[in-house]
A and B are shown apart, each in its own frame.
Chain A
Amino acid sequence: MLGYIARRLLSLILLLLGVSMLVFFSIRLIPGDVADIAFGMQYGDSPEAVAAFRRLYGLDQPIYKQYATWASNVLRGNFGYSIRTGRPILPDILARLSVSTELAAGAVLLSLLLGVPLGVLSARKQNSYCDFGIQALGLVGLSLPSFWWGTMMILVSSKALHWLPPAQYVHFLDNPLRALTILFMPCIALGTAMTAVIMRMTRSSTLETLRKEYVQLARAKGLPENAVLYKHVLRNAAIPVITMSGMQIGYLMGGAVLVESVFALPGLGRFIVSAASQRDYPVIQAGILCVAILFSLINLGVDVLYAVIDPRIRDVE
């Protein structure tokens, strides 16, 4: 087990090295000169001032040196400064990350609480009206664009209920009730697609497991159906569902960009969007790097969990 985790950590480090290079060098893809674009837009562009700006941000150094400086700063937790506000980036990112985390956690919770039972129910009543109904709902959930779904929720609640969530964001730990009223609709908007995915995965995985010989054996032994379901079926059916959930959390972080914009939540996604529209390159760089690191860490966590549940995985790699 430890060996497995060590191997995974090693490949994670390699992956993050690649990711950091991709993020760093992608900035150089911008047509034109970063300094000219970033600087000229703000302060006008006398050549001396641009040269000073380039020195300040190390842009006069050769590119591999720039990468080395940047990477060693990042490793020490210094993500640089915004070229728009001049503020250090990391504290801003962390503040927004907590909002996005609360949003994502709510959406994940919702999709597991709804998706897993619905999937199991659908599988147990296979080919009944109940099954078809749940499956149709799943397809609808999968096809709803989160940003439109969120917009429609706002529209209906303001038109029909004359109610809109409070505008000022409050953290869950500071005031749980108020936070819930704010996060309620965004979590549904963000979690609907994931609920559908989890439901579909749970259904097909449960159906597949129900056909296994060991399930027939358990039934033949005379175990009550519920015991068969909980002890033999669900435990095994959970494995692909867990992997899928891990991957979905990554997509969730992407979807959060849209939902945060719709509901005007001060999350990381919206932070990156506004940095992108202001062409604040250091912030874009740092923001997307953080998301990629998070995504890789979540995947690592899921893989380890996977190996804990299913010992066969450890030996395969």
Chain B
Amino acid sequence: MPNTSNSRTPQTRSKTSLFLRRLLRHPSTIVGSLIVLAALLAAIASPFLAPYDPNKMHPKDALEPPSSQYALGTDQFGRDIASRLIFGARTSLVVALAAISIASFGGTICGLLAAYYGGLTDLLVMRVLETIFVFPPILLGLVIMAMMGTHLIVLIVTIGIVYMPQFARLVRASVLLLLRQGFVEGSRALGASDVGVMVRHILPNIVAPVIVLVTLRLSTAILIESGLSFLGFGVQPPTPSWGNMLSSGKVYMEMAPWVAVAPGVAIFCIVFGLNILGDGLRDMFDPRLRY
């Protein structure tokens, strides 16, 4: 036993460098990573990057077109759209990251327990999750938000719950495959506890598909958040979110198209970046799917 843990460290390190080298080999994956990194940077450093306070109104400059003063123009209250976009990145990414953390964590535990213990546990856990699965995500989100009120925490937990079943299904299927390979039985025969087997032998082997799904679901989580905010059930104004910017911009679209164009382009870019990154990661982790 001690042998395996000793030999694992250098192996993981070389795996990491191999991983990075393979990641950088695909030009599209690089583009994806750059877009995602740019969005992360905007989210982390928004107070330093934004030229204006996102909520500061300049009533005299309402609905100004893009100019040297306001790079992307202003909205109906004269707020700087570029600054609101940068702060909006923070809102969208925080919501998406927190929600998908909940979904992947909860889903992994559910899927792992269901597959490992099987029988009644499997039946109960998966049936309950399947029930969530029959509601289209945005509709379920809408209903929960309407019931529980439109707080940011509710939004995060809601999106987390909505995507939990997908992670549970994926993890369950991967664990079932692993269990057939015999090494789990082997380590149990050596006296390992259930938790030990799960943490040391099963989890490390299912990390890759979970990471791929995390990347792909982050993009849909952003779409759901902006969609809910667009409908008025997500992030509430004046907190800037790309979805609520778009929804308020839609009213003034005829006079000032830039108000509605900019947030949509931002959503598109980050979702596009996450999608190509997710595709690249999937190709790397699962060579069977690469064609």
**A145 near B264: Cβ-Cβ < 8 Å:** yes
Tell me which residues from 140 to 163 in chain A have a Cβ below 8 Å from any Cβ of chain B.
Answer: 140, 142-149, 151-152, 154-155, 158-159
Q: Which residues of B contact A126 (CB under 8 A)?
A: 291
Asked if A71 is at the interface of the complex by the 8 Å CB criterion, the answer is: no
Q: B291 and A208: CB pair below 8 A?
A: yes
A26 to B250, CA, bound (A): 32
Does A199 lie at the interface of the complex (its beta carbon under 8 Å from any beta carbon of B)?
Answer: no
Does A30 count as interface, using CB distance less than 8 angstroms? yes
Chain A interface residue bracket vs B: 35 or more
Residue picked from A143, A252, A284, most chain B C-beta under 10 Å: A143
A150 CB → nearest B CB, Å:
10
- Are A139 and B275 closer than 8 Å at their CB atoms? yes
B230 contacts A142, CB within 8 Å? no
| B98 close to chain A: CB less than 8 A | no
Question: Contact flags (1/0) for B246-281 with A, using CB distance below 8 Å?
Answer: 100010011001001101100110011001100100
Interface of chain B: mostly helix, strand, loop or mixed: helix
Number of B positions contacting A (CB below 8 A): 46
Q: Give the Cβ gap from A43 to chain B, nearest Cβ, in Å.
A: 21
The answer on a CB contact under 8 Å between A139 and B276 is yes
Contact indicator per residue, chain A 239-254, by CB within 8 Å of chain B (1) or not (0): 0000000000011111
Q: Which residue of A lies closest to B141 (CB)?
A: A254
Q: State whether B275 touches A155 (Cβ < 8 A).
A: no
Question: Among the listed stretches B13-21, B49-57, B144-152, B198-206, which one makes contact with chain A, having 4 or more residues with CB under 8 Å of it?
Answer: B144-152
Residues of A within 8 A of B132 (CB): 22
Cross-chain contact A253 with B139 (CB below 8 angstroms): yes
Which of B135, B148, B263 has most chain A Cβ within 10 Å?
B135
Q: Give per-residue flags for A247-269: 1 if the beta carbon is below 8 A from chain B beta carbons, else 0.
A: 00011111101100110000001
Contacting residue for B272 out of A30, A139, A299, CB 8 A: A139
Contact present for A155 and B257 (CB under 8 Å): yes
Binds A, one of B76-84, B106-114, B172-180, B219-227: B219-227
A208 to B128, CA, bound (A): 34
Chain B nearest CB: distance from A175 CB in Å? 28
B144 to chain A, nearest CB (A): 7
Considering only residues 213-254 of chain B, those with a C-beta below 8 Å from chain A are: 219, 223, 226-227, 230-233, 246, 250, 253-254
Whether B261 contacts A144 by the Cβ 8 Å rule is no
Of the candidates A148, A255, A295, the one whose C-beta lies within 8 Å of that of B268 is A148
Interface contact A251-B137, CB-CB below 8 Å: yes
Closest CB-CB distance, A155 to chain B, in whole Å?
6
Instruction: Decide if A59 is an interface residue (CB 8 Å cutoff).
Output: no
Q: How far is the CB of A290 from chain B (nearest CB, A)?
A: 11
State in angstroms the CA–CA spacing of A31 and B147 once bound together.
8
Residues of A within 8 A of B260 (CB): 148, 151-152, 155
Is the CB–CB distance between A204 and B227 below 8 Å? no
Shortest Cβ gap from A103 to chain B (Å): 14
Q: Is A272 an interface residue (CB 8 A)?
A: yes
Flag whether B190 is at the interface (Cβ < 8 A). no
Across the interface, A31 reaches (CB within 8 A) one of B127, B148, B226, namely B148
**A281 to chain B: closest residue by CB:** B147
A38 proximal to B (CB < 8 A): no
Q: Which of B136, B145, B267, B275 contacts A145 (CB 8 A)?
A: B267
Closest-CB distance, A267 to chain B (whole angstroms): 12
Is B276 a contact of A253 with CB atoms below 8 Å? no
Most buried by B among A30, A146, A148, A152: A148
Task: Kindly report which residue of chain B lies nearest to residue A261, judged by CB atoms.
Answer: B231
Nearest-neighbour CB distance to chain A for B194, whole angstroms, equals 28
B1: interface (CB < 8 Å): no
A279 contacts partner chain B, Cβ-Cβ < 8 Å:
yes
Partner of B134 from the list A149, A155, A262, A296 (CB cut-off 8 Å) is A296
**B146 & A143 in contact (Cβ 8 Å cutoff):** no
A18 at the interface (CB under 8 A from B): yes
Per the bound structure, the CA–CA distance linking A204 and B289 in Å amounts to 8
Given A18-B131, A152-B264, the answer on whether A139 and B279 have CB atoms closer than 8 Å is yes
The residue of chain A having its C-beta at the shortest distance from the C-beta of B279 within the complex is A139
What are the residues of chain A within 8 A of B230 when measuring CB–CB?
Answer: 147, 258, 261
Q: By the criterion CB–CB under 8 Å, are B264 and A148 in contact?
A: yes
Contact residues in A for B261 (Cβ distance below 8 Å)? 152, 155
A304, CB-defined interface residue at 8 Å: no
Most buried by A among B144, B226, B227, B246: B227
Question: A146 contacts which chain B residues (CB < 8 A)?
Answer: 227
A residues neighboring B (CB under 8 Å) = 14-15, 18-19, 22, 26-27, 29-31, 123, 126, 139-140, 142-149, 151-152, 154-155, 158-159, 203-204, 207-208, 250-255, 257-258, 261-262, 269, 272-273, 276-277, 279, 284, 288, 291-292, 295-296, 299
Inter-chain pairs besides A276-B143, A277-B232, 14 sampled, C-beta below 8 Å? A31-B149, A123-B291, A126-B291, A139-B275, A139-B276, A143-B268, A145-B268, A147-B227, A155-B260, A250-B134, A272-B139, A272-B143, A291-B135, A296-B134
Q: Would you list 16 pairs from A and B whose C-beta atoms are within 8 A, ordered by A residue?
A: A18-B131, A145-B223, A146-B227, A148-B260, A148-B263, A155-B261, A159-B254, A254-B139, A255-B138, A258-B227, A262-B250, A272-B143, A276-B143, A276-B146, A284-B147, A288-B140
